[in-house]
Amino acid sequence: MTTASISETTTFQKAAHNLLGDKGFTREPDRVEPWLTDWRGRYTGRALGLASPASIKEVAALVRLCAEHGVPLVPQGGNSGMAGGATPDASGDSLVLSLRRMNAIRALDPNAGQAVCEAGVILQSLHEAAQDQGLRFPLTLGGKGSATLGGLISTNAGGTQVLRYGTMRAQVLGIEAVMADGQILDQLTALKKDNRGFDLKQLLIGSEGTLGIVTAATVRLLPAPRSRVTAWIGL
């Protein structure tokens, strides 16, 4: 690395720290290293640091800052993926972006059967919040204690009940995201009929952070089952 590039990197790191503060940006190895290796331990990379913004405004400002300095972003959810898509490469030039601090369930409407959740909401937390209202979020999987809503949307996760309820695409009614130039896309309003133009949320779902960074979503909730019947059938 040349003296000029070292200076540019230091300038970026200082600017990111000034933007996000001690909680939002760190280079401490003990805090960064757990997020540099994928869930299976097959891929390990390096990074300039770990960014953990606390609001969509901070996400947008960080994206603009990265664009200004030419720093690649690697969005990461619960780091429970098995394909290495959330792991930075070995160059050390990229910044790991975690939305774990954005973990609020902004609204839950039992009558409409909808919840507005930030990207860092843990899947199990959403299950529990829905259950308290006599509802259920129909997507579930083995890593529900660590998987985040943003990661589930970005990978279009299927889960163990995908044949009955569909993939994550079928659960998302509205979306909020930060685009590559730092603009905020606000399409959280869940309209049954929306003729305002392209349905951009469908492009973002499953795009794994390549087209934009999902920061929140409106998801559908279903009535919780009142009873269960189990049958053992021999063929």
pLDDT tens-digit readout, 101-139: 999 999 999 999 999 999 999 999 999 999 999 999 999
Sheet with 73-76, strands from edge to edge, namely: 25-26, 50-51, 95-98, 73-76
Closest to 32 in 3D by CA, of 82, 2, 76, 84: 76
Best CATH choice for the domain 105-223 from the list 3.30.465.10, 1.10.3720.10, 3.40.50.1220, 3.40.50.10140: 3.30.465.10
For the chain, percent helix, then strand, then coil, each to nearest 5? 30, 20, 50
Residue 6's pLDDT band (cuts 50, 70, 90): low
- The pLDDT score that the predictor gives to residue 5 is 66
Closest to 98 in 3D by CA, of 170, 184, 32: 32
* pLDDT > 80? residue 226: yes
**Taking the domains of the chain in order of start, what are their residue ranges?**
3-98, 105-223
* pLDDT > 90? residue 77: no
The architecture in CATH of the region 3-98 reads 2-Layer Sandwich (3.30)
